[in-house]
Amino acid sequence: MIPYARQDVNEDDINKVIKVLRSDFLTQGDVTVEFEKAVASYVGAKYAVAVCNATQGLHIAVMAAGLNEGDLLLTSPNTFVASSNVGLYQNAEVDFVDIDEKTYNMSPSALKDKLKTIKKTPKVIIPVHFAGQSCDMKEIRQIAKDSIIIEDCAHAIGGEYMGKKIGCLEYSDMAVFSFHPVKIITTGEGGMVVTNNKELYEKLILFRSHGITRNKDLMNNKDMPAWYYEQISLGYNYRMTEIQAGLGVSQMKRIEEFLIRRREIAKKYDEAFKNHDIITPYQDEKGISAYHLYPVQVNNRDRIFNNLRNKGILVNLHYIPVYLQPHYQNIGFKQGLCPVAESYYEKALSLPMFYSLTNENQDIVIESLIKELK
């Protein structure tokens, strides 16, 4: 079996986790802070807040942005459902902006058209850096100056845009990363929100842990004993464990190694398929993809998908446009909303892409797919 993705955990990773397990703290300790600092430093952000998974990160990010009932959230249809679900969690309105036919990311021109047709200014816009390639964030920021922009970087840690790391926040207010096992680095499950805004950071910290604070500057009653704490807002228990953070600290030391290998794999795919009837991922000259995924477009996708899986090549599909899901259909969305995303979906196929994919197994994938294309 050749999976489409998998984690790579080595002895250093295991030893770091064992060290945490033998320590005094399994949650809310110094290792989580160490992991937050490592990610913030890597992407070039001031503040980072680790959470149990990226969905929770997106949730507290939209909460910090003040998204509530009656507000509007815009995102891409070519994403996992979490990117829009977090708007529904807040009883906000959700809508979708079609994708660019080359990058499969939110199209700036489609965003501009959407803003002309809707009656309210979006409170929040969540561009999704699909497959590891950055959206055109400068264009999106210029078009949506009055909205809070939260980058969904679940696929993209280590990618670059205009010479800087994705998530550096030059054109956004917050960015959210995922550390699921199929991502660039893993903490088992896990996520992180980064921001350069201290006020947003303090809100994120609150919402991550029940809305509780011991910060006297934020309390109503300031002259109280050291044991005192206050719940000053409604929050959740979204804290990352020290065990997860320990794995993350170790994995961050390997991130460039992971990225180099993924780009080698992508280059080999590019070369192998260039003379065949297949659309390979486009690389915008403004950035460098992290290659979380290697999505292609092929004719007769369903036949090819089934045949490859029957051979033990576990290709996948990313993504069914979110608004085509039954829940979204039940709340009023209809087919035809985002024609480019729907056209991409009809031919989309994600090939195996992960650090430990061997050259021999990649050759099997390539030869098998080329045979199916004929």
**What CA–CA distance (Å, rounded) separates 125 from 144?**
8
- Fold equal for 2-252 and 255-373: no
pLDDT reported for residue 216: 86
3-state secondary structure of 244: helix
| Phi, psi dihedral angles at 119 (to 5 degrees) | -90, -15
Which helix (DSSP H) or strand (DSSP E) does residue 113 occupy?
helix 108-117
Give the DSSP letter string of 14-31: HHHHHHHHTSS-SBSSHH
Other CB atoms within a 10 A radius of the CB of residue 21 amount to: 11
pLDDT reported for residue 73: 98
The ranges assigned to domains in the chain are 2-252, 255-373
**What CA–CA distance (Å, rounded) separates 57 from 86?**
10
pLDDT reported for residue 71: 98
pLDDT reported for residue 219: 87
**What CA–CA distance (Å, rounded) separates 104 from 145?**
23
pLDDT reported for residue 223: 86
Nearest to 192 by CA among 150, 131, 163, 134: 150
Is the separation of the CB atoms in 217 and 224 below 8 Å? Answer: no
Options 1.10.730.10, 2.40.50.140, 3.40.50.1100, 3.40.640.10; CATH of 2-252: 3.40.640.10
Residue 366, token pair as written in the block:
């390539």
pLDDT reported for residue 222: 86
Contact partners, residue 191, CB within 8 Å, separation at least 6: 50, 51, 52, 53, 54, 55, 56, 57, 58, 154, 176, 177, 178, 179, 240
Taking the alpha carbons of 49, 52, 54, 55 in that order, is the dihedral positive or negative?
A: negative
Is the separation of the CB atoms in 117 and 96 below 8 Å? Answer: no
Question: Is the whole model's pTM more than 0.95, yes or no?
Answer: yes
Taking the alpha carbons of 96, 101, 106, 107 in that order, is the dihedral positive or negative?
A: negative
Q: What is the pLDDT along the chain (374 residues), one digit of tens a residue?
A: 999 999 999 999 999 999 999 999 999 999 999 999 999 999 999 999 999 999 999 999 999 999 999 999 999 999 999 999 999 999 999 999 999 999 999 999 999 999 999 989 999 999 999 999 999 999 999 999 999 999 999 999 999 999 999 999 999 999 999 999 999 999 999 999 999 999 999 999 999 999 999 988 888 998 888 899 999 999 999 999 999 999 999 999 999 999 999 999 999 999 999 999 999 999 999 999 999 999 999 999 999 999 999 999 999 999 999 999 999 999 999 999 999 999 999 999 999 999 999 999 999 999 999 999 98
Is the separation of the CB atoms in 192 and 175 below 8 Å? Answer: no
Question: Which CATH code for domain 255-373?
Answer: 3.90.1150.10
3-state secondary structure of 119: coil
* Locus of tokens 């004719």: 299
